[in-house]
Structure 1
Amino acid sequence: MTIALGTPTVDGVREAMAALREWQDDGAPMQLHPGDLGWHYRFGAAETASVIRTWSRAGRIVAVGMLDSPRLLRMTVAPDTFQDEDLARQLAEDFSLPEHGVLPEGAVSVEAPLGLLLHDLLSEEDWGVDEPWTPLFRDLTEPVEDPGVRITPIGPDQAQDFADVLRSAFDTSRPTSEYRRSMSAAPFYADARCLGAYDDQGEVAAVVTVWSAGPGRPGLVEPMGVHAGHRGRGYGRAITLAGASALRELGSSSARVCTPSSYAGAVATYRAAGFERRGEVRDRVRAG
Structure 2
Amino acid sequence: MAIEVDRPGVDGLGGAVDALREWQDDGAPVQLHPGDVGWFWRFGAEATAAAVRTWSRDGRVLAVGLLDGPGVLRMTVAPDALRDEELARRVAEDVSRPDRGVFEAGRANVEAPKGALVKDLLVADGWQLDEPWTPLRRDLAGPVEDPGVRIEVVGPERVPERSAVQRASFEKSTFTDDRWHAMAGGPVYADARCLVAYDDSGEAVATVTVWSAGPGRPGLLEPLGVHRDHRRRGHGRAITLAAAAALREMGSSAAVVCTPSSNVGAVATYESGGFRRLPEVRDHYREA
TM-score (norm 1): 0.98
C-alpha distance in structure 2 between counterparts of 1:63 and 1:138, whole Å: 26
C-alpha distance in structure 2 between counterparts of 1:159 and 1:102, whole Å: 34
Deviations along 1:67-95, one digit per CA (max 9) or x if unpaired, are: 00010000001000001111000000001
Alignment of 1:128-207 (within 5 A): 128-207=128-207
Check whether the contact 1:147–1:237 (CA below 8 A) recurs between aligned residues.
yes
Q: Tell me: CA distance 1:90–1:173, structure 2 relative to 1, closer, same or farther (3 Å).
A: closer
Cα distance, 1:160 vs structure 2:
1.7
AA at the equivalent of 1:50: A
Q: Percent identity?
A: 61
What is the match of residue 86 of structure 1? 86
C-alpha distance in structure 2 between counterparts of 1:131 and 1:155, whole Å: 37
Deviations along 1:168-206, one digit per CA (max 9) or x if unpaired, are: 111125111112111111211111010000012211000
Aligned positions, number: 288
Alignment of 1:88-127 (within 5 A): 88-127=88-127
Check whether the contact 1:208–1:224 (CA below 8 A) recurs between aligned residues.
yes
AA at the equivalent of 2:62: V
- Report runs of 4+ in structure 1 exceeding 4 Å deviation: none
Cα distance, 1:287 vs structure 2:
1.5
* SS across alignment from 1:251: coil
Unaligned stretches of 5+ in structure 1?
none
Alignment of 1:226-237 (within 5 A): 226-237=226-237
Alignment of 1:1-288 (within 5 A): 1-288=1-288
C-alpha distance in structure 1 between counterparts of 2:70 and 2:42, whole Å: 17
AA at the equivalent of 1:73: L
* SS across alignment from 1:202: coil
C-alpha distance in structure 1 between counterparts of 2:99 and 2:163, whole Å: 37
AA at the equivalent of 1:110: V
RMSD: 0.8
Check whether the contact 1:66–1:73 (CA below 8 A) recurs between aligned residues.
yes
Unaligned stretches of 5+ in structure 2?
none
Deviations along 1:225-259, one digit per CA (max 9) or x if unpaired, are: 00011101111110111111010111100000000
C-alpha distance in structure 2 between counterparts of 1:125 and 1:72, whole Å: 18
C-alpha distance in structure 2 between counterparts of 1:251 and 1:81, whole Å: 27
